[in-house]
Amino acid sequence: MKNADPWSSLGLLLLSGLICWGALLLPYGSVHNPGAGFYPFWLGIILGGMAIALFWQSARRKGGGKTPGDRVAEKVRWGKVLGVALALVLYAALMEFLGFLIATLLFMAFLLRAIEPQPWRTVILWTVSGALGSYLVFEVWMKLRLPKGFLGF
């Protein structure tokens, strides 16, 4: 695999331009009273700066040698990457129907059992504590309304 940094940096630069463009379509506001476009615009600027720095760094590298990131990318287990991506899509799609708690329990259990197998005791401990902890933070403490699902919780 040849060095992917120049191509990924150009892709990130394009993405940052799209983010900034989309943010400019929203009300900007000011530093003391930011609008909906304020943070996305500046995050796009930061991403663009990092993309330019990555491109510059890759252009200065002698001999086009492989970076540690290139060596890691060659060993990626694509089945697991696709499994996580599919799980995320299903999690988002089923959130309204199942509700936050059940969808989060199933999502975390899948990740801990199927993607990176853990003992059932660990799976149960982390899924229950993670889902309930998230529920307490978002629903109870921050008073955000999470999807209830067909069972009402």
The 10s digit of each residue's pLDDT in 104-125 is 999 999 999 998 899 999 999 9
Exposed, middle or buried, 2 (CB in 10 Å: 0-12/13-18/19+)? exposed
Given a contact cutoff of 8 angstroms between Cβ atoms, the answer to whether 126 and 112 are in contact is yes
Which of 42, 15, 44, 38 minimizes the C-alpha distance to 26? 38
* Spatial separation of the C-alpha atoms in residues 145 and 118, rounded to whole Å: 31
pLDDT at 123: 96
pLDDT bin (cut points 50, 70, 90) of residue 1 is very low
* Coil/strand/helix, residue 29: strand
